[in-house]
Structure 1
Amino acid sequence: MLNKRTNPFIIVFLSLFSLACVIPFWLVLTVSISNENDIASYGYRFWPKKIDLVAYQYLIHDSANIIRAYGVTIFVTVVGVVASLFITSAMAYTLSRIDFPFRNALGFYVFFTMLFSGGLLPWYLVYTRFLHVQDTLLALILPGLLSGFNVFIMRTFFTNSIPPSLLDSAQIDGASEYRTYFSIILPLSLPVMATIGLFTVVSYWNDWFTSLVFISNENLYSLQYLLNKTLMNAAFLQSIADKAYSNTANVTQPLESIRMAMAMVAIGPLVLVFPFLQKYFVKGLTVGAVKG
């Protein structure tokens, strides 16, 4: 009886919560197709007073660079996520093994990196003076390969979800550590792998600072950095127009609608990826974060 009374309220609450999540996307879409003068006069509206696609036309003029930046970002994201999951899971599995002799020392080292960093200058010098990866795709991949936070989430998942007896059985049957890792550990770790994979996808996809620091070749610009640079150029042109036509006509660049159009262009792939990982997301995060 309690469930029958509770379920309608839960359904209504979740429906309202889902609507609250969709509304911002709808607002971004409507602003991106709104006239800049209407935005300045009436503010953000859930339905444009007048549909104006000038922001998307502005981006279409730079479509070749955007498509190339899309390719760079997709390549960096795919390679980075695969490599990051392999390195993170391997280290987490090592830390989860009680019989590993340097388990505590390595765990403290990973934890230490979560609290302290060398700073921006040493970080830059390592990649430019020692690794010499500036103006290469490796400069966009290497900085995001390993996260101490992700290692500890995955380590806790391995500790709590994979019974030691299963590993002992594999050793009795003659399986090596590599065979155990690839044939037993990874197939049983899909929830946490999908969760950490989603974290890593978002991190790589939204990264623009790495391109700003290491990339000067326009052919290697990431999507986020290219869009940010395009917006900065539009703002610069607007400032020049304001000075040049301050006493005559008012020339307006569609800055606000361009900003929202860029958001729509950049967010598309993430919206498509998330539904496929959603069923693993909650389970992997909760099991990997709570120690039983």
Structure 2
Amino acid sequence: MQSSGKIYQWSINIVMLLFTLFCVLPFWLLFSGSLTDDMELVRNGYAFFPDRLSLTAYGYLWNTSTDIARAYGITILTTVVGTTFGLSLTAMLAYPLSRTEMPFRNGLAFFVFFTMLFNGGLVPNYLLYTNYFDLKNTLMALIIPGLLMNGFFIILMRTFFASSIPKAIIESAYIDGAKEWKIFLQIVLPLSTPVLATVGLFYTILYWNDWFNGLIYLTDSRYYSLQNLLNRILLDVQFLQNSTQAGSRAAEFAANIPLASMRMAMAAIGVVPLLLAYPFFQKYFVKGLTIGAVKG
């Protein structure tokens, strides 16, 4: 009996180890490719241990370090502001929807769910945000359209509030004379740390990786986020390599740019902050996601 238990435990450990390797190896390949000589990548493809190390890709990106630093600042600002406001608005809508005594609760919940299935379309959204809200070429264009509120996050948080916050605590607070805002801020939110951290991580990833809003609503490079700037650099390099005439100085410059390794270096620059931030959310992530998904 004891022997079979050990075999089972070893089997689970091996499976989890393999799963961890499958998660880590793509990032290892990413960083390895960014440090590999471009000609080596063209000849032999990507490898976990490069034969010829090269920092050329990072050297070319260093030439645009001022723009990258500004784009980093814009991305950090929009991520912090967007996550803060998105998380606050989501919690303030999800909590009333979790209260059974709220009038029209089911109708409002259906309205939230409806937004997960249908939207107004790209052209109406663009006209609305540019002509009526005047968000074009502003930082708000990176925060509000399509990202500030999310129906799935609202339902996830509503389910957590309904299934994990004891009603007896809220009723006792009522008896002691507490009002709704005090109950929400001093009782409900402190008990909801797992789901707040989980949804906060989701919002952080959405805002950090977003490039679509910048592509649609921005034409001024001063407001480019990190993803938009890296994408624009890559497109510019590809344009130079494909469009310049042979023998010209621009063609020679473009031919020497390590495009393959530069792609990997750009991805590495974009993903490193998320890799550093994830361990701080990890202990809340699984708990908040599973508890919030138990009941509908």
What is the match of residue 240 of structure 2?
Answer: 237
Structure-to-structure mapping, 1:249-264, within 5 angstroms? 251-264=255-268
Report the secondary structure of 1:142's partner residue: coil
CA RMSD of aligned residues (A): 1.7
What is the match of residue 65 of structure 1?
Answer: 67
- Structure 2 unmatched runs, 5+: none
Give the Cα–Cα distance (whole angstroms) in 1 for the partners of residues 169 and 58 of structure 2.
56
User: Can you list the C-alpha shifts for 1:83-141, whole angstroms capped at 9, x where unaligned?
Assistant: 01110011010100101002111111111111110000111111111111211111111
2:279 paired with 1:281 = no
Give the conservation status (yes or no) of the 8 Å contact 1:167–1:180.
yes
* Residue among 1, 4, 7 paired with 1:5: 7
Structure-to-structure mapping, 1:67-106, within 5 angstroms? 67-106=69-108
Give the Cα–Cα distance (whole angstroms) in 2 for the partners of residues 119 and 175 of structure 1.
44
Give the Cα–Cα distance (whole angstroms) in 1 for the partners of residues 90 and 255 of structure 2.
52
2:190 paired with 1:183 = no
Over the matched positions of the two proteins, sequence identity in percent amounts to 50
- Structure 1 unmatched runs, 5+: none
What is the match of residue 119 of structure 1?
Answer: 121
Give the Cα–Cα distance (whole angstroms) in 2 for the partners of residues 245 and 286 of structure 1.
60
Give the Cα–Cα distance (whole angstroms) in 2 for the partners of residues 134 and 115 of structure 1.
26
Give the conservation status (yes or no) of the 8 Å contact 1:245–1:251.
no
What is the match of residue 192 of structure 1?
Answer: 195
Give the conservation status (yes or no) of the 8 Å contact 1:238–1:252.
no
Deviation at 1:245, TM superposition (A): 4.6
Report the secondary structure of 1:134's partner residue: coil
**What is the total number of aligned residue pairs between the two structures?**
290
What is the match of residue 270 of structure 2?
Answer: 266
Name the TM-score, length of structure 2 as normaliser.
0.94
Letter of the aligned partner of 2:87 in structure 1? L
What is the match of residue 148 of structure 2?
Answer: 145
Name the TM-score, length of structure 1 as normaliser.
0.95
